[in-house]
Amino acid sequence: MELIAKYHVETDLPIRKAAIAIAAEQSTGTWTEVQGADNPLAARVIRAEGTDVEIGFPEELFEPGNIPQYLSVVAGNLFGLGALKKVRLQDVIFPESLVRAHKGPRFGIEDARRILGVFDRPLVGTIVKPKVGLDPAATAAIAAAAVRGGLDLVKDDETLTDQAFCPLISRVEAVMSALDKVEKETGKRAFYAVNVTTGADQILERAERAVDHGANMVMVDVLTAGYSALEVLSRHVDVPVHVHRTMHGAFTRDKGHGISMVVISRLVRMTGGTNLHTGSYMGKMARETMENDQSRDALREEWHGLKRVFPVASGGIYPAKVSGNLDGYGIDCIVQAGGGVHGHPDGTTAGAKAMVQAVEAWLKQIPLQEYAKDHKELETALKFWGS
């Protein structure tokens, strides 16, 4: 069996020669001939046409369960090869043995739905805004206002961790107390994804302390903390894990160079995320539809028995942008708005209601402007931000 890595390669070399150089550099070769380079662990060129290259790496080359080692092979020194102008890791087809070396999500889509009691619609979430600068009490007030409006998830910003102005444990206690009160009054249950991102020596302890103080979801910035950090959280913390992709643009933005969101999606599913920011079909983070489709499928299609993961559309989304994202992701997704909730002229609760109403319109296949006639929060949002 092999791991198959698919690359986009731009070079002045003949493409097959470039592919051979990648295969050698990432397995048994070096810049000059050495004894023993031609052995069973040498990678092979499967395909080299135009700018498309596929390399087969022997399964034995990989240490099962070691994501950092996988990446050192398929996304290692090749990016520095002088003869290559650009290289992008487009996808990785993992052999079953390497996938099964990971347990995947402890909490998948179905588990999260069961906790919330929501089964027949997309989930709707928000990010507390302003992203930093609020104290725990102010954070809790905004979270409660959002859930009163019908939202299913409130999350920290990716830059908010355990700063002095808003200590993590105090924040968790304040937010969960406020959400408990809302649930008792309205019956509405929601997740609060508290950002536990920190160094490898502290992240599990931090997450466990957050759960001990009431957290019902934790969040990790996977590309800054690492896939191993996500895997530790998923295996040892008894709540769902929300995964943010902050810093991803350094890898994903250049369509000719870097690493695609599809690869990140596969690794997050292997290492245990419940939700993953994958990109939006409409919004300020919108990119290529094809890559969104591929990331969505990598998270939700049957894959060696691993639980399914929610793709999250986020970034510059407001009610008029909802339908375009749901057309792409369907029911099994989370559509999330920060400014598109809290920036509503009538406040956070009204902004949350407007987002929920936009989802309702999509589910009922009613044009947004028509649905807004009987839903004042949506009507105000469309007048304010446009339709």
pLDDT of residue 285: 65
pLDDT of residue 206: 98
pLDDT of residue 387: 85
pLDDT of residue 37: 57
> Would you name the residues annotated as active-site residues?
129, 244
- Identify whether 73 is part of a domain: yes
CATH of the domain at 342: 3.20.20.110
Counting the structural domains of the chain, the total is 2
Domain span holding position 17: 2-99
Tell me the pLDDT tens digit for each residue of 361-381: 999 999 999 999 999 999 999
Tell me the pLDDT tens digit for each residue of 243-257: 999 999 999 999 999
CATH of the domain at 22: 3.30.70.150
Q: What is the rounded CA–CA span in Å between residue 107 and residue 243?
A: 12
- Regarding whether 120 and 56 lie in a shared domain, the answer is no
pLDDT of residue 33: 62
Q: Which of 45, 80, 99 is the last residue of a domain?
A: 99
- Regarding whether 68 and 121 lie in a shared domain, the answer is no
- Regarding whether 38 and 185 lie in a shared domain, the answer is no
- Identify whether 332 is part of a domain: yes
- Regarding whether 260 and 327 lie in a shared domain, the answer is yes
Q: What is the rounded CA–CA span in Å between residue 292 and residue 224?
A: 22
- Identify whether 104 is part of a domain: no
Which stretches of the chain drop beneath a pLDDT of 50? none
- Identify whether 226 is part of a domain: yes
- Identify whether 337 is part of a domain: yes
pLDDT of residue 34: 56
pLDDT of residue 226: 97
- Regarding whether 147 and 89 lie in a shared domain, the answer is no
- Regarding whether 181 and 123 lie in a shared domain, the answer is yes
